[in-house]
């Protein structure tokens, strides 16, 4: 397979290739951003991150650090200010993030090219692998949305690529550089630490040399990681929200005490969906996949299993080569540790899969490289044709979401006229795009409810309650307790004189409601939750928006009256 990196000659023509890959892919992705006109193709996380970025742009001296995204907000704020100066979506971080992500994705593709070129020594194979990575569904979707993972993923991928090459012949300098890049990656997005840290440590453990040398490299890696985090924390000084000690950066506990956390049998289905949709389709499925989706899932599963089996066989054949062992350890270890972590959290989420499924591109490159040794022209032609077909299919799967950005802006104008925000509180599911659209356009505040005064009130403009808030923030509560907590919040809003208006989620049956809550709440609890709310309140259809759906006015059921409910915080 030709993976002995110590004997691969320096590549020729790579500078031109890198320039073409970076410029053309960035341009293509920006065109797709404009074509799609939907910054939230997969999730709404980017919108909420954009709101925080606004505070860093407006008042960086008093903006609050987030230990789980320690460098992300200040770094993105700087980049957004640069885009302001360039006239690119000025004053609109929500859309500026799509451009930053497209640029980050182009860097990822350059990294893939360099790594594959290095491990195979074949220029055509490197191009084929780069195209395959671009075409992979989750990568492609995240590259043109405002989800927050792409910049940190690019830095992480750079550290993994350098480790795959340099740990074959490690030096103190090489280990330190990899540790530095890896640390910057997880300080942008904390959860990236866990899938790849075990893989990098294990890769150092299998590097050449005496056991004492290997232990020394591991100690150096950890020392650089912890030391850089400590230095960064000290440089921020008294910045609002700064960590009290370096261990607060190393372990933030993000998501551990939430409805996302915990192992459950149903998550094996979501894991299968997340792994399969990474390659083909790119859907972020919030529950059991519909029957119409099964052919796509099974086809993708077959493709992934085939690539895994063939690439592992080739790596096993070359297991005596240090380069093969290190490559398998870095990417395979990240996959293994990452999927265990995903099974505990959100295995169907694209941002949870994009960094752990990157092994698929390496596996594809290994297979194509072996095929090229046998029949060069047909092998490359077939590899490119398959990647182009994959790219086309995944773009086709995005097409139904096209134009959602403009459509939601018009929908918000209609909703604001039908239900003036000053005297309305919206009861929403919490995961639908309507939440992010309202939150961003109407300057939302997560912590508004305990401070809410009598109606009408113009500030905050976006006043809402969400069915998912309780399950996410109180994972150990019973379904009845969750229903009663939301019931008290609705009752408090009514007593303050607000009209509570619910989205289509209100009309869901108990089974439909349970399915919509499946990623954060068991079916039994969800049905209990549903019963409490529907026993306590009645609803009347008041208007239907062509884009946002039906809306219902909530009123107390005559069978349940509690005029002075004790308010409960979100």
| Domain shared by 382 and 420, yes or no | no
Answer whether residue 178 is part of any domain. Answer: yes
| Domain shared by 327 and 259, yes or no | yes
Chain centre distance of CA 112: 20
| Domain shared by 393 and 415, yes or no | no
What one-character-per-residue DSSP string does 173-200 give? HHHHHHHHHHHHHHHHSGGGHHHHHHHH
The whole-angstrom separation of Cα 22 and Cα 106 is 5
| Domain shared by 408 and 397, yes or no | no
| Domain shared by 429 and 394, yes or no | no
The whole-angstrom separation of Cα 441 and Cα 39 is 14
| Domain shared by 467 and 484, yes or no | yes
Do you find a cis peptide bond into 417, omega within 30 degrees of 0?
Answer: no
Q: Which of 432, 468, 431 is nearest to 545 (CA)?
A: 432
| Domain shared by 53 and 113, yes or no | yes
Residue that is last in its domain, among 378, 401, 424: 401
Beta bridge partners of 537: 556
Residue that is last in its domain, among 401, 420, 439: 401
Question: Mean pLDDT of residues grouped by 10 in the chain (570 residues)?
Answer: 42 86 98 94 83 95 96 98 97 96 98 96 97 98 96 98 96 97 98 96 93 96 98 96 94 80 88 97 88 97 98 95 95 97 92 97 98 95 98 96 91 96 96 89 90 94 95 93 96 96 96 91 94 95 95 88 42
Please write down the HEC assignment for all residues of 15-72.
Answer: HHHHHHHHHHHHHHHHHHHHHHCCCCCCCCHHHHHHHHHHHHHHCCCCCCCCHHHCCH
Domain count, the chain: 2
CB atoms within 10 A of CB 217: 24
H-only helix segments in 318-375: 322-327, 333-344, 350-353, 359-374
> Which string of b and e fits 487-517 if b means at least 16 CB within 10 Å?
bbbbbbbbebebbbbbbbbbebeeeebbebb
pLDDT of residue 90: 96
Answer whether residue 569 is part of any domain. Answer: no
Answer whether residue 258 is part of any domain. Answer: yes
| Domain shared by 182 and 220, yes or no | yes
Q: Which of 225, 347, 341 is nearest to 284 (CA)?
A: 347
CB atoms within 10 A of CB 358: 27
Answer whether residue 22 is part of any domain. Answer: yes
| Domain shared by 388 and 488, yes or no | no
pLDDT of residue 8: 40
The range of the structural domain enclosing residue 175 comes to 5-401
The whole-angstrom separation of Cα 67 and Cα 71 is 8
Residue that is last in its domain, among 372, 401, 430: 401
| Domain shared by 76 and 102, yes or no | yes
Inter-residue contact 94 to 39 (CB < 8 Å): yes
| Domain shared by 385 and 525, yes or no | no
| Domain shared by 374 and 412, yes or no | no
């Amino acid at each position: 397979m030709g993976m002995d990196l110590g004997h691969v000659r320096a590549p020729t023509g790579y500078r031109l290739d890198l320039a073409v890959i970076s410029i053309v892919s960035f341009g293509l992705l920006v065109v797709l951003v404009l074509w799609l006109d939907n910054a939230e193709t997969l999730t709404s996380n980017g919108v909420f991150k954009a709101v925080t970025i606004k505070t860093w742009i407006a008042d960086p001296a008093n903006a609050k650090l987030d230990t789980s995204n320690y460098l992300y907000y200040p770094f993105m704020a700087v980049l957004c200010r640069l885009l302001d100066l360039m006239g690119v979506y000025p004053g609109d971080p929500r859309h500026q993030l799509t451009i930053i992500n497209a640029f980050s994705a182009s860097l990822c593709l350059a990294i893939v090219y360099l790594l594959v070129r290095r491990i195979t020594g074949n220029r055509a194979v490197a191009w084929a692998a780069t195209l395959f990575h671009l075409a992979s569904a989750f990568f492609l979707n995240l590259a043109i949305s405002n989800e927050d993972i792409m910049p940190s993923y690019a830095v992480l991928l750079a550290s993994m690529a350098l480790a795959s090459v340099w740990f074959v012949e490690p030096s103190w300098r090489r280990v330190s550089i990899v540790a530095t890049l890896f640390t910057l990656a997880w300080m942008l997005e904390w959860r990236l630490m866990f899938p790849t840290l075990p893989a990098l440590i294990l890769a150092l453990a299998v590097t050449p040399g005496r056991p004492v040398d290997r232990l020394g490299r591991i100690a150096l890696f950890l020392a650089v990681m912890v030391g850089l985090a400590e230095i960064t924390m000290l440089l921020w000084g008294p910045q609002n929200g700064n960590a009290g000690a370096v261990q607060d950066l190393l372990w933030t506990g993000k998501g551990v005490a939430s409805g996302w956390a915990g192992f459950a049998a149903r998550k094996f289905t979501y894991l299968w969906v997340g792994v399969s949709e990474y390659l083909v389709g790119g859907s972020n499925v919030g529950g059991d996949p519909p029957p119409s989706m099964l052919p796509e899932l099974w086809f993708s599963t077959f493709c992934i299993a085939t690539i895994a089996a063939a690439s592992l066989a080739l790596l096993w054949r070359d297991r005596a080569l240090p380069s093969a062992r290190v490559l398998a350890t870095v990417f395979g270890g990240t996959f293994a540790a990452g999927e265990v972590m995903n099974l505990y959290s959100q295995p169907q989420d694209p941002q949870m899969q994009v960094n752990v499924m990157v092994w698929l591109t390496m596996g594809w490159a290994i297979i194509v490289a072996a095929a090229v040794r046998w029949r060069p022209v047909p092998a490359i032609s077939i590899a490119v044709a398959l990647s182009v077909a994959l790219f086309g299919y995944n773009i086709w799967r995005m097409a139904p979401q096209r134009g959602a950005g403009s459509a939601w802006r018009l929908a918000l104008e209609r909703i604001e006229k039908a239900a003036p925000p000053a005297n309305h509180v919206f009861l929403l599911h919490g995961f639908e795009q309507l939440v992010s659209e309202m939150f961003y356009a109407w300057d939302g505040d997560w912590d508004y409810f305990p401070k809410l005064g009598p109606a009408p009130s113009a500030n905050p403009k976006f006043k809402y309650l969400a069915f998912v808030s309780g399950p996410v923030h109180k994972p150990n509560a019973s379904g009845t307790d969750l229903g009663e907590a939301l019931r008290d919040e609705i009752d408090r809003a009514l007593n303050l004189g607000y009209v509570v208006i619910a989205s289509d989620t209100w009309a869901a049956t108990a089974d439909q409601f349970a399915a919509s809550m499946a990623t954060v709440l068991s079916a039994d609890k969800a049905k209990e939750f549903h019963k409490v709310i529907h026993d306590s309140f009645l609803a009347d259809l008041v208007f239907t928006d062509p884009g946002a759906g039906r809306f219902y006015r909530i009123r107390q059921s005559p069978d349940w009256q509690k005029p002075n409910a004790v308010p409960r915080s979100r």
